[in-house]
Amino acid sequence: MNVVPKSTRFHERTKIEVPLDVVYSENAGIVWRERTKTEEVTICGGGFLLHRPLEPKRLVNLRMPLPKNFRLYDFGKEKYEIWGLVRYVRLLDQEEPGQIRIKVGAALTGHRPPPSFLVDPTTVYDLKPILRNQSLWELRELERHTGRYMRSHEERRRIEIDVILDVIGPDGRVIESVAGETHNISESGMALTARFEAGFPLYIVVKNPGRRFRQLAKVRAIHPSDDDERFRLHLEFLSGKWIV
């Protein structure tokens, strides 16, 4: 274990590397686990790297041999098991060709998930705005946007550009790379058409080298297009925004 203290402030992040098991429910039928290491922690949050895609505002289960001074319970147990809310996802440069790498920041919320998560693990949450000293974050459930989701509240600009789509498999590896053409773009997503050989994707890395744009996105809808071999996709960006 390597610890590098940054300051004496309670919420200041401390660089600390300990083994970390991350368990994420893509939906009620798909659950994956990945072993990684923490990069920095506080009593109420932490950051770590992953090679699989996940969504902000979703819950993850975290298990790690965290030092006692970073715990609020289970001081006598070897591993500290706690739930966290994904606050951000950042797409990093690849270290291994064809394997994505993301930085995740999570707010720690407690020993158990809320009942709504047990009913539907795809439930999305936000944090209540006030964090009491020496405590964990409290969750509030958000309304799930379906169909048009959050992009319907944003201005969509008609922008037609060529993009490269890296289709990401369940293990975070690139299954295929295809060309696509955008139809409209907002800060949080885009609509485009493309042809796929490996089946319909769930996660995609969208790239436009000319604009230095590279973001992890989730496919929110797929529809047939006028071309029988191409499909129209609606994507939501997970790791950043389109700068209009």
Asked whether the predicted pLDDT for residue 111 surpasses 60, the reply is yes
Q: Which helix (H) or strand (E) holds 19?
A: strand 19-25
Predicted TM-score of the model (pTM): 0.89
Residue 6 has a pLDDT of 47
Q: For 134-170, write each residue's pLDDT tens digit.
A: 789 999 999 865 544 444 567 889 999 999 999 999 9
Q: For 53-73, write each residue's pLDDT tens digit.
A: 999 999 999 999 999 999 999
How far apart are alpha carbons 242 and 244 in whole angstroms? Answer: 6
Q: What domains sit in the chain, N to C, each tagged with a CATH number?
A: 2-141 (2.40.10.220), 149-237 (2.40.10.220)
Q: For 68-94, write each residue's pLDDT tens digit.
A: 999 999 999 999 999 999 999 999 999
How far apart are alpha carbons 170 and 175 in whole angstroms? Answer: 10
Q: How confident is the model at residue 235 (pLDDT cuts 50, 70, 90)?
A: very high
Q: CB of 215 within 8 A of CB of 240?
A: yes
Beta bridge partners of 216: 205
Residue 145 has a pLDDT of 58
Q: Which helix (H) or strand (E) holds 40?
A: strand 31-42
